[in-house]
Structure 1
């Protein structure tokens, strides 16, 4: 199989993975693979330069778009629901055991959750911390 075709297959796989994760990092690798495919069309035997060109493009895109994406995130009106979760109250939908995940509903969203103590179904909890897709919770204690 021709090297340019292999680079296109790699780019396609990276594009599909990017659509699943929405991180933009895999998109830059995808574009780097496309550049490597173009180099492979022009210089089929220059494997080293194919890899260098692809890596260089991916690196440049990653470095120069990081400040831009930070600026968009910090722009007025952007809200990350994850940072707003901390301190909010939720209801346990699936019981939580230490070392295992349960499910907690916070607002209208359901989250995988962990806790240091067992928490049963329908108990109120407070969100302590949020990871990428998992929240850490504790029992909700009413303040008198």
Structure 2
């Protein structure tokens, strides 16, 4: 049996003091569990690596296709790490990111080895997964992030 994935709207409320822009991105909900909550990404003031194209069209045009490709068509043999949650100001990995190892399987794709990374400190692992998603359903769900 494969796991179920769903993109769910995720809103970061903006403020003027301190100045924080409002952000509209996606949470990844697996088997009914928010990965944003399970990884404590909110405590690090992160947002989803995929922007909501209905509310952030320009940001989605700039970043979503690259991130979606890393989650789907650009997955190498053996897999690679992909950021799921990033800094809402710049999206820079150095600010810290929640990442996952994405690997192709016979049935689809597997997410494993969740961690907080910032490129300089040792990765801090999260006790999540692994999750395996059926390819067609997975592609369809990640495809919802595409901006026209």
**TM-score, length-normalised on structure 1?**
0.24
Tell me which protein shows more helix as a share of its residues: 1
Structure number with the bigger relative contact order (C-alpha 8 A, sep ≥ 6) is 2
Max Rg structure: 1
**TM-score, length-normalised on structure 2?**
0.24
